[in-house]
Amino acid sequence: MALKTIDANTLKQWLETRQAVLVDVREPAEYAAENIQGATLMPLSRVSKAALPDYTGKKLVIHCRKGGRGGSACEKLLAEDPSLDIYNLEGGIEAWRAAGLTLVTSNKSFLPLDRQVQLIIGLLLTIASLIGYFLTAPAFLLITGLIGIGLTIAGTTGFCGLATLVAKMPWNQRVATNCHINQPV
């Protein structure tokens, strides 16, 4: 079954007419920084059909920052139950913002998960390369190769171990007091 997508303006109409339930699969800190009003937070690592909010008689819409994690969540849920009427918000919360639609914001700055991973990888590669070059320590050049292998695996499988680890860091688990994380029953 092909993954169904929805644009931000159509989703807004569905939410206004109570035709859809919206699930945000970003991390708690991302959600706390900004979210679409009424969205239920369920980080990608916790996505399962049993943990979904009640969507009886409604369309189920998943979203993330840009659409990638949302697509992964949809695929995971469809693998669990192929009969689900599920949609991924095309372009994620960034498309919602670009359409000029309202967001609930905390006015706190937050570095998105993908950029945190890029920053860590960039720093590791730079440090390992400099140590390898200046100390003539070829073993440090192996680190760059191992990171390359990790990136290759992440690119081919869609699973990034570093992103999973970074998502569990305390600064990514902070949740505003008004945030609700849906937990499996």
Catalytic residues: 64
Amino acid at 100: G
**CB distance 15 to 22 below 8 Å:** yes
The Cα–Cα gap between 121 and 147 comes to 7
Residue type, 99: A
CB atoms under 10 Å from CB of 79, counted, come to 9
- Of 43, 32, 50, nearest in space to 168 by CA: 43
* CA–CA separation, 147 and 153 (whole Å): 10
User: Nearest-CA neighbor of 104 among 55, 59, 39, 44?
Assistant: 39
Q: Using alpha carbons only, what angle is made at residue 21 by residues 183 and 34, rounded to the nearest 5 degrees?
A: 75
Beta bridge partners of 40: 23
Contact status, residue 52 vs residue 60, Cβ threshold 8 Å:
yes
